[in-house]
């Protein structure tokens, strides 16, 4: 593995390029972003001091449609990370076949250290700095780690005020009263559930009674726990940044969520055994869902992973060397660019609804999400079978194929 997630992406693109018989010329446009910008964000803090934050927006590829990708607020945000996340978004949107390219934005900031007023000033100033390059036909931001629907509401308001008219389709993940889509909150987890169902069917496994371990209990992890539990699975362990809990008889996800709300962590829930995040990843189970950060399953622990299936809720939770070890062990991996694509699919639905000004019932969102995720899973599986490769390689191959085909049709000028 390299130290750079972007270099990992490049290696993968070149590998699938060989598999698909593409020339260097076909692949070169996928090697660098269309546009990267770095902006300074000066804001006045509540105590009257001035702070300057650094923000980024990378539009990786727009050959299949406007760029699409979240905005991350995290102290460790760097241009290299944003570039890698934007590149992954390009491939992910192609895998689920929605008419978008890929983008990502970020601000190097710890949002938990800012008041709501400071967060609002930061968001509005960052939006103003990237105003010229975003919009419903250019680049559509969304929430990511450290950002939430209220932040998207400020982005939408800043753009609308500068344009002089309300423009809801300029950002997704908004609150429902401002043109957000029903079902967006749980969309990533619900999409993950649909891919897990499809995988279990192919593998001859059943969700009823399946033992599930989930790392991370935020938006993706907690909703995945609830939905998998509703589907009949037994959630035997979960964790958050402070540590994990284990109950071989199964946990009630709603009770865990209540406990986490009241105490600030899933840890210490009565009737459960305390475990570390490291122990959690190596528990024997039918399904492991990493839903926290990147780089969690590594060369250090991959040999000890005892899951039959891994569905990657997080982006990049498995390092390339760990991936090779898991493949050797016969673990079936539903890769991030497929497993967690439900969020961007419903973001696409939100953009469509905003442009029509006509909003769907939650059941319609779920039905259309299921159709998209099932189709994408089988498209990836078909690619894996045709080329006798694993699901991750197949997902990249499918995404890269769709991007290269679009570029061939449009030409290099695009
Ligand atoms: P979140 O901030 O809501 O939750 C993250 C969870 O991970 C929290 O429970 C946190 O305590 C836990 N965590 C943080 N550091 C940890 C550590 N070192 N060990 C164990 N747990 C840790 O974030 P989220 O929206 O649920 O996103 C989780 C992952 O899923 C991220 O990698 C994100 O990029 C990816 N993802 C999210 C979406 C989405 O729609 N929310 C879509 C696609 C991908």
Chain segment 300-314, per-residue pLDDT in tens: 999 999 999 999 999
Residue 199 is predicted with a pLDDT of 98
Q: What is the pTM of this model?
A: 0.96
Q: How far is the CA of 385 from the centre of ligand 1 (A)?
A: 31
- Contact between 309 and 338 (Cβ < 8 Å): no
Which whole-number Å values give the CA distances from 93 to 80, 102, 341, 372, in the listed order?
A: 20, 7, 8, 11
Which of 34, 83, 92, 104 does the annotation list as catalytic?
104
Q: Answer whether 241 contacts ligand 1 (Cβ < 6 A).
A: yes
The pLDDT value given to residue 414: 78
The yes-or-no verdict on residue 2 having pLDDT over 70 is no
Q: For ligand 1, what atom is nearest to the CA of residue 266?
A: 9
Cα angle for residues 351, 41, 343 (degrees, 5° grid): 25
- Protein residue closest via CA to atom 5 of ligand 1: 218
Summarize the confidence of residues 104-128 as an average pLDDT: 98
Domains 5-15+23-167 and 187-339 belong to one CATH topology: yes
Tell me what pLDDT residue 413 has: 83
104 in active site: yes
Q: Where are the domains of the chain?
A: 5-15+23-167, 187-339
Centre of ligand 1 from the C-alpha of residue 265, in Å? 14
Ligand 1 and 286: CB distance under 6 A: no
With cut-offs at 50, 70 and 90, classify the pLDDT of residue 3. low
The C-alpha atoms of residue 270 and residue 248 are separated, in whole angstroms, by 14
Confidence class for position 58, pLDDT limits 50, 70, 90: very high
Average confidence (pLDDT) over 123-149 = 97
6 CA distance to ligand 1 centroid (A)? 20
Per the prediction, the chain carries an average pLDDT of: 97
CATH topology of domain 5-15+23-167: Rossmann fold (3.40.50)
Q: How confident is the model at residue 5 (pLDDT cuts 50, 70, 90)?
A: confident
Give percent above pLDDT 90 in the chain. Answer: 97
Task: Report, as an integer, the average pLDDT of 30-59.
Answer: 98
Quick one: average pLDDT of 185-209? 97
Q: To test ligand 1's pocket by mutation, which of 72, 73, 218 has the most ligand atoms within 8 angstroms of CB?
A: 218
Kindly state which CATH superfamily the domain 187-339 is placed in: NAD(P)-binding Rossmann-like Domain (3.40.50.720)
Give the C-alpha separation, 348 to 198, whole Å. 22
Closest CA to 95 of 407, 413, 368, 392: 392
Kindly state if the Cβ of 142 falls inside 6 Å of ligand 1. Answer: no
User: Is the beta carbon of 313 within 6 A of some atom in ligand 1?
Assistant: yes
User: Closest Cα to residue 347, out of 208, 163, 184, 190?
Assistant: 184
Q: How far is CA 404 from the centre of its chain?
A: 23
Q: Which residues are CB-neighbours of 255 under 8 A, at least 6 positions away?
A: 269
Instruction: Give the mean model confidence (pLDDT) for residues 227-242.
Output: 97
Report, as an integer, the average pLDDT of 385-404. Answer: 98
Position in ligand 1 atom list of the atom nearest CA 336: 44
What does the alpha-carbon distance between residue 274 and residue 267 come to, in Å, rounded to a whole number?
7
For position 288, what pLDDT does the model report? 98
Ligand 1 touching residue 84 (CB < 6 A):
no
In the predicted model, what is the mean pLDDT of residues 362-372?
A: 98
Instruction: Please say whether the beta carbons of 65 and 99 come within 8 A.
Output: yes
- Residues pairing with 163 in the sheet: none
* Residue 409 confidence (pLDDT) above 50: yes
**Is 236:248 a contact under the CB 8 Å cutoff?**
yes
Average pLDDT of span 10-15: 96
Per-residue model confidence (pLDDT) at position 1: 44
pLDDT for residue 172 is more than 60: yes
């Amino acid at each position: 593995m390299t130290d750079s997630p972007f270099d990992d992406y490049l290696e993968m693109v070149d590998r699938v390029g060989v598999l698909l018989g593409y020339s260097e010329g076909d692949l070169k446009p996928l090697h660098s972003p269309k546009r990267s910008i770095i902006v300074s964000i000066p804001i006045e803090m509540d105590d009257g001091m001035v702070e300057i934050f650094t923000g980024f927006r990378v539009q990786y590829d727009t050959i299949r449609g406007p760029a699409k990708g979240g905005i991350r607020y995290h102290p460790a945000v760097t241009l290299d990370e944003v570039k890698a996340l934007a590149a992954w978004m390009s491939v992910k949107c192609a895998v689920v076949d929605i008419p978008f390219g890929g983008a990502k934005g970020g601000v190097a900031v710890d949002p938990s250290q800012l008041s709501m007023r400071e967060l609002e000033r930061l968001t509005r100033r960052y939006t103003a700095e990237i105003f010229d390059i975003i919009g419903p036909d250019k680049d559509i931001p969304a929430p990511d780690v450290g950002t939430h629907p209220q932040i998207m509401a400020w982005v939408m308001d800043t753009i609308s005020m500068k344009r002089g008219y309300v423009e809801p389709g300029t950002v997704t993940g908004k609150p429902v009263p401002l043109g957000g889509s029903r079902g967006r909150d749980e969309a990533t987890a619900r999409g993950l559930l649909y891919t897990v169902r499809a995988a279990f069917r192919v593998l001859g496994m059943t969700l009823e009674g399946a033992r599930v371990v989930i790392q991370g209990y935020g938006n993706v992890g907690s909703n995945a726990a609830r939905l998998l539990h509703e589907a009949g699975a037994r959630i035997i362990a979960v964790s958050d940044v402070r540590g994990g809990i284990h109950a071989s008889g199964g946990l009630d996800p709603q009770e865990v969520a209540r406990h986490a709300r009241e105490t600030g962590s899933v840890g210490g829930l009565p009737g459960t055994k305390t475990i570390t995040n490291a122990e959690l990843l190596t528990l024997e189970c039918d399904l492991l869902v990493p839903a926290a950060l990147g780089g969690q399953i590594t060369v250090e622990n991959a040999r000890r992973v005892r899951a039959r299936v891994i569905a990657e809720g997080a982006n990049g939770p498995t390092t390339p060397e760990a991936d090779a070890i898991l493949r050797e062990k016969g673990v079936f991996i539903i890769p991030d660019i497929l497993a967690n694509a439900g969020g961007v699919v419903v973001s696409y639905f939100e953009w469509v609804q905003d442009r029509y000004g006509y909003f769907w019932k939650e059941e319609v969102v779920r039905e259309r999400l299921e159709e998209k995720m099932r189709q994408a899973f089988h498209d990836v599986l078909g690619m894996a079978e045709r080329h006798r490769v694993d699901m991750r390689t197949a997902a990249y191959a499918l995404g890269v194929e769709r991007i290269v085909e679009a570029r061939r049709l449009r030409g290099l000028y695009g």
